[in-house]
Amino acid sequence: MQPQDKIDHFLRRTGFGVTSEERRLGRNLGYETLVERTLQNALSYRLQKRPPMTVAPALVVPVTLVTFGQGVGWWFNTMAQTASPLSERMTMFWHRHFATSGSKVFRPGWMFAQNQTFRRNGMGSFADLLQAMVSDPALLSWLDAHNNPADNPNENLARELLELFTLGRGSYIESDVKQLAKLTTGRRVAFGGRAVEAPEDAYQGPVSVLGYKGQFGLKEMAAKLAVHPATARRSVELLWEDFAACPLPDRLATRWSRLWTETRGNVAIILREMFLSEEFFTAPFQRVCSPVEYWVSCARLLKWDKFSLEDSGALNKAGELLFFPPSVKGWDLGEALIHPAAMQIRLEIADTIVASLNDRHFALQGLDRTPDRGRYLEHLSGGQIKATTLPGDLDRFSPREALLLGLSSPDMWMS
């Protein structure tokens, strides 16, 4: 693979599409320096605009729904305008991993705070992130662990901790769930959205979970689960699947699992190893962009910032409304996104963007003036749109129609 091809591949997989500016920067820096700069930017990333404030109790349903809609717009625009796409990609990764839905939590402030936790801790130690999540008000509410007495432990949080968040199915037995559930007792979520201890409802005795025996607190046990060998293996496989879109070779899984345990699950260190591996470029699979990723890629490409409250409905129709995953398992991704209805929705997304552009938009003017519209769209997209996949007679279309054809090209649906 040529150096520029490596850079394009890296930019597509770690962000949302490829802009010509990002491509030019990568060419100037070289691949390895680009990787280091991308990781350092993600580690030092700070939000420019805070999420919307919750202005009314959850009982005021219309206001709460509007606040959620504003939150969807805030996160969408944050992804579209960020100077660190990898940070937002990892925020999305953890949102899918710890899938929590406002449909049940119905507290926008709690959901937005969880989103900030993903952004703040998502590139560092997984042990730190998991310890934060077992006290996260939105997750506690979502899994019915916010009112959990010792004499009748609710097992939801314990089960998902083992099955979805750490080890994975087949790496624990039912007694581990029941023992871990004892440690999830004795928690409340205060009115302001802060998790507080309720000692009178908390289990005080010893437990035996996965061979760990003794008197533990939930956060202490979370730190152990975060670096368990099964968690390490599953975590590096999930990261690789998300960025490389193919099964992780056993040799790399063994090596990176060991590194995960040694670093308390340091995500940035693992990602560096992945991005610098030869296998990252030789993986034969293409990655299907989700509806959000596709829409954000188009927005970044065209510097489009018109995502509105009404567009939340379009994301819902597309099947990926932010803050509202369909279940604790999150959204179906990959090949599940390839079907006629999904393609029609993406065409509608592209049409929404193109129809809203001013006639003096740089892309429309560029298409009007260029002698080769296919090559122009290829350059505009940083090489993602291929001139060879577009109609050879683009000149007979208007600039707006030509742009719509480019955005709706299958090239934009894959990374």
Query: Domain for residue 204, yes or no?
Result: no
Burial of 310-339, coded b for 16+ CB within 10 Å and e otherwise, reads ebbebbeebbbbbbbbeebebbebeeebee
Integer Cα distance of 326 and 241 in angstroms: 21
Overall number of domains in the chain: 1
Range of the domain at 367: 291-413
Query: Domain for residue 375, yes or no?
Result: yes
Query: Domain for residue 167, yes or no?
Result: no
**How many CB atoms within 10 Å of residue 46?**
9
Query: Domain for residue 352, yes or no?
Result: yes
Cα→Cα distances 121→181, 244, 267, 331, Å:
25, 22, 9, 22
Query: Which of the 8 DSSP states describes residue 275?
Result: H
Query: Domain for residue 20, yes or no?
Result: no
pLDDT of residue 261: 97
φ, ψ of residue 260 in degrees (nearest 5): -60, -50
Instruction: Pick the closest to residue 415 from 288, 282, 270 (CA basis).
Output: 288
pLDDT of residue 52: 87
Q: pLDDT 10s per residue in the chain (415 long)?
A: 788 889 999 999 999 998 888 999 999 999 999 999 999 999 999 988 899 887 666 667 788 888 999 999 999 999 999 999 999 999 999 999 999 999 999 999 999 999 999 999 999 999 999 999 999 999 999 999 888 888 888 999 999 999 999 999 999 999 999 999 999 998 888 777 777 778 788 898 999 999 999 999 999 999 999 999 999 999 999 999 999 999 999 999 999 999 999 999 999 999 999 999 999 998 777 888 999 999 999 999 999 988 988 888 888 888 899 999 999 999 988 877 777 887 888 899 999 999 999 999 999 999 999 999 999 999 999 889 999 999 989 999 999 999 999 999 989 988 8
Query: Domain for residue 252, yes or no?
Result: no
